Amino acid sequence: MAADSMEIDDALYSRQRYVLGDTAMQKMAQSHVFLSGIGGLGVEIAKNIILAGVKALTVHDTKQCTKWDLGINFFIHEDDITSQRNRAEATLHRIAELNPYVHVAASTVPLDETTDLSFLKQYQCVILTEVSLLLQKKINDFCHAQQPPIKFISADVYGICSRLFCDFGDEFEVLDTTGEEPKEIFISNITQSNPGIVTCLENHPHRLETGQFLTFREVNGMSCLNGSTHQITVVSPYSFSIGDTSDMEPYLHGGIAVQVKTPKMFYFERLEKQITNPLCLVADFSKPEAPLQIHVAMLALNHFQENFGRGPNIGCLQDAEEMLKIAMSVSETLENKPQVNGDVVKWLSRTAQGFLAPLAAAVGGVASQEVLKAVTGKFSPLQQWLYIDMSDMVTPLEKMGSEEFLPRGDRYDALRACIGDSLCQKLHDLNVFLVGCGAIGCEMLKNFALLGVGSGQDKGLVTITDPDLIEKSNLNRQFLFRPHHIQKPKSYTAAEATLNINPYLKIDSYINKVCPATENTYSDEFYTKQDVIVTALDNVEARRYIDSRCVANLRPLIDSGTMGTKGHTEVIVPHLTESYNSHRDPPEEEIPFCTLKSFPAAIEHTIQWARDKFESSFSHKPSLFNKFWQTYPSAEEVLQRIKSGESLEGCFHVIKTLSRRPRSWTQCVELARIKFEKYFSHKALQLLHSFPLDTRLKDGSLFWQSPKRPPFPVKFEFNDPLHYGFIVSAAKLFATVYCVPFTEKDLSEETILKIISAVKVPEFRPSNKVVQTDETARKPDHIPVSSEDERNAIFQLEKSILSNEALENDLQMKPISFEKDDDSNGHIDFITAASNLRAKMYNIEPADRFKTKRIAGKIIPAIATATAAVSGLVALELIKVVGGYPADAYKNCFLNLAIPIMVFTETAEVRRTEIRNGISFTIWDRWTIYGKEDFTLLDFINAVREKYGIEPTMVVQGVKMLYVPVMPGHIKRLKLTMQKLVKPSADKKYVDLTVSFAPETDGEEDLPGPPVRYYFVQEDN
C-alpha cells in the first residue's frame, strides 16, 4: 500500500478491509513499528502485523540461531544454524516476503540499560519480547513520556505461562470501540411522556445497551425528533427511553432510529505502577483468581532471572522451591497481596526454559491485534494485562520423572521441557486429518510442523484436503502462500510450504471436498485410521457433516472458526463431550419474498434483489435455455410438437427469450434501457396503481407506513453516473450471455448516447396483477402459462424460424457464474448500480460498491490476528486430546479481539438418553448385530431384543423406512432377508441402521435408540 497514493490494494486486503475499514487501514499504512525479540512469540507478532499492512517494521534481535529455534520459530531453517546467523537477519527476507507493501528492516545492535532510547522516537508503537523486566520498565517510561506517547506493548511466553501488557499513554482515544455496524431500528411507537418510550416493530429486538446514542429520521408526527441525537436507557428487549417527549407533537407512524458511534477515551498507567496493582482481563471465569496468581509467578521468575543471571533449570525442584520463596515475598509488595498458587509457581519454574509454540500463536494473535489498535485507534485496547496459562495441560504429567523433560539435542527440546518426551512421541506418531487449507488451515500446519505432528519414524501422518485454488485475496492471511502460488491448489502448496518449516513431517495432500460424494475416499476405514480430525472450514453444513462422520467412527474432532475479530474453538471427544451437532445455531433469517419483490425497507433488501436479478437473467435463464435446446435439438421439431398440443416444460419462456434475443451491441444497450424503465419506473407506477398513497388497511391504518416505503419512479438521466453505470454493466452482461461481440468504441459515451437516444421506451400500462403482501408467502415455483401465451409462443417461434433466427447458434447462450473477486467482469458493478437505483426508488440510503460486494458476495470478514489466535488454541487442545486427558482438562474458547474478550469454558458433558428399564445410551454409543446370509428382518429384531433387552418397533436406514408396522405391507417384510431389504453394494460389510422402541404409554412418541451397525456376516476376530 503505497503511502503517497494511499490506495488500498483491494484484491489483497478485501477481507481485512471489512474488519478494519479504510480509515484504519490508511492509518496503519503510515505507521512505523519496532519489535524486539524474534523468537517464537516475536515471529508470530511480526507475521501478523506484516500481513495486516503497517508501513514499516524493524525487527531487533541480538541472538544467534540455535537448534532450539527450529521448534519455536517457523522461519528459521537448518542452514541458519550451521551458518550461525543472527535471528533477525535469518528471518528478515522470509517475513518481508509476506507483504510487498511493508518495508521490513533488521537491527542487531545491543539493547540494554545503557542504550540511548531516542532512536525509538521514529516509531508509533514499540513491542518487546524476551526483554528483562528492568529494561521493559525503562523503555516503557521513555515511551509513556513522549508527546504523543509511543504505544508500548510487552509480551512473553515462558513454559506454560504467557503474559501480555499494554500501555498506550495517559489518554488514548478510540473512535470505534467494537467495529460492529451501527444498528438501525424500525419504530412502531413513541409515547408522549417523560421519559418518552420508543417501541420497536414486533419480533425485532433492538439489541442496544444503556448509554448508547441514537439519531432519528423519517418519524411522522413527532417530527422534531428527526435529525436529533439522544442517549438511551434500555427498558426491555423491544423498547428504550430517550428523555422528555411530553411537549412534542403526538407520534403518528414510521421512523428509524440509527445508532451513533461515539469516541471513547481509555486511560493507561505505566508498567511500574501496574506491576503493583495490575488491571487484568479475566479469561476463565471458573478461575477468576488465576491472572493475579500468574502475575505473581511470572514476577517471581523475573526476579529469579535477575538474582541468578539464569532461568530456573528444567524440572529442578530446588530452583522451584527458591522461586516459591521469591513469589511469597513478591506477593507482599503488591497492593492486594494475592495468595500464591504453589502449583503454578512450581510448574512455571519447571517449564520456564521451555516454550509452547501454540501458546505463542494464541498470545501472538492477541498481541498483534493490540499493535493494530495502537496505530489505528480502532477497537477497544486491552487494559492492561492478559495472562493465559496451561496448568491443566501439565497437571496430569505430575508423576513423570524430571528426565522426561530434559533436552535431547533436537528441534523439540523447547516443547519437551513443557510436556515431556512421551507426549512428544505421541504427537510424532499421530495420524491427523486436517480439513481445509485456508487461513486457519495454514496456521494449523505451521503449528503441526513446530510440534512435529506426523513426523514419527514408523508411525504418524498428516492428511490434508482442500478443493480450492489460491487467490490473491488469500495472501493477506493464508501465510504459507506467495504471489507466485496464485491459481495453484491450496493443499499441495500448503504441504510443500509446511515441509520447509519441518522437513520430517509426512503429509498426504488431496484436493477433494469432504462430503457424501467422496465417501469412497474418506470412508469409515479412513476415519478409523485417524487419531484426531481438525476442521478449518468456513461453513456450518460441512462442519455438521464431518462431525457426524466423527461420531459414527468414534473419532475426536477439534473445530474452530473466525469472523472478523471473533473466533471460537470447540473440542469434541468420544464418550466425554457433546458433538457439534448437539447444538444448533438459529437459522439465518431469510428476507420474505414480498419484501424483496415489492417492499424493501433496507439496503440489504435491494442488494439481495439485485443479486437475484443477476442470477435469474445471466445464469438461471441461460442455463434453462441451453438445457431445453439440448433436449429438443431443433426449433422446427418443437414447433410441430406444440402445434399438436404437446406441453413441453419451459417452452414458453425459452421461445420468448429466443424471439427477443439481441443480435448486436445496439440491441444489448436497447435491452438494458428497456430493463431500466421496467425495474425502476414501471414497477413503482404499478405498485402505486395497486396501492395508492392514501390506501388504508381494514383497521384504518395507512398501508404505506414503516417498514413499508412507497416507491417513486426514477426518470432516466443519461448524465447521472448511476443510470449510465446500470446501462453499461447490464448491456455488457447481456452481450456476454447472448454471445454478442463488442469493442472499446462500443463502450464509448458517444456510441451509447446515440443508441439510447433512438430507443422507443414502451409506455406504462397498469395491470391487474395481484401483489403479494403476505410476509410468510414463499416465491412460487411455477407461474402458470395461459392459452393466449401458448398461442403467442407458436406465432413467435414460427416468426423466428421464417427469419432464420432459430439456427443452431441461436439455440445457445453462455450462462455466467457470479464471481465477486474479479473486478473486470462487471458483476459487482451491475449489482451495485441495480441495488442503488432500487434504493433511490424507495428512498433508502444507498451503499457503496465495497459494502455491496460484501453483502452480495456473502464475504466473511477476516484478519490474520484472529486466525492465528484460534489455531494456537486448537493446537493446545490437540496436545490434550493426544495425551488422553480427562474431561475437565479440555477448554472451548470464544474470543473477540476487538473488545477484547477471551472466554474459556469447560466442554459440555455428553447427555445420556434413557430408553426404559435402566437401558440408556449417548450419541457415542453404537450397538452391533452380526448376521448371516439368510438373516431376516425378524431375526434382526429378535437379535436386538436378545442382546440389548429391548425390542425395536421401527427400523430405518438413512431416510428409507425399512420397517414401520403401521405402513401397508411392512409386516410382510419381516420374512425378507436383510440383504434383500438393504441391497448393499458388493464391498459393503455392514450398514448403519436407526431403531426406535414402543413408548411405555400409548399415544406417546416412539423412544429413540442408538445407531445399530448390522454386519452382513460374522466378522473374524
Which residues are identified as catalytic? 594
CA-to-CA dists, residue 525 to 472, 519, 530, 925, 987, angstroms: 37, 10, 9, 18, 12
Residue 648 contacts residue 641 (beta carbons within 8 Å): yes
- Residue 831 corresponds to which amino acid? I
Report how many helices (DSSP H) and strands (DSSP E) the chain contains, helices first. 33, 32
User: Cα torsion for 713, 716, 720, 721, to the nearest 10°?
Assistant: 90
Reduce the secondary structure of 356-391 to three states and give it as a string. CHHHHHHHHHHHHHHHHHHHHCECCCCCCEEEEECH
Residue 980: other Cβ atoms inside 10 A = 10
Provide DSSP, 560-605. EEEEBTEEEEEEE-TTTB--GGGS-PPPPPPPPHHHHHT---SHHH
- Residue 678 corresponds to which amino acid? K
d(CA 470, CA 455): 26
Residue 530 contacts residue 430 (beta carbons within 8 Å): no
Q: Smallest Cα–Cα separation from 568: which of 341, 893, 860? A: 893
The phi, psi pair for 669, rounded to 5°, reads -65, -40
CA angle 628, 632, 633 (to 5 degrees): 110
**How long is the chain?**
1021
Residue 683 contacts residue 765 (beta carbons within 8 Å): no
d(CA 515, CA 537): 13
Residue 703 contacts residue 695 (beta carbons within 8 Å): yes
- Pull the grid cell for residue 195: 421519559
d(CA 381, CA 367): 10
Residue 27 contacts residue 372 (beta carbons within 8 Å): no
Residue 125 contacts residue 374 (beta carbons within 8 Å): yes
CA angle 838, 843, 844 (to 5 degrees): 75
d(CA 122, CA 117): 11
Residue 718 contacts residue 629 (beta carbons within 8 Å): no
SS3 state at 419 = helix
Residue 648: other Cβ atoms inside 10 A = 16
Reduce the secondary structure of 813-852 to three states and give it as a string. CCCCCCCCCCHHHCHHHHHHHHHHHHHHHCCCCCCCHHHH
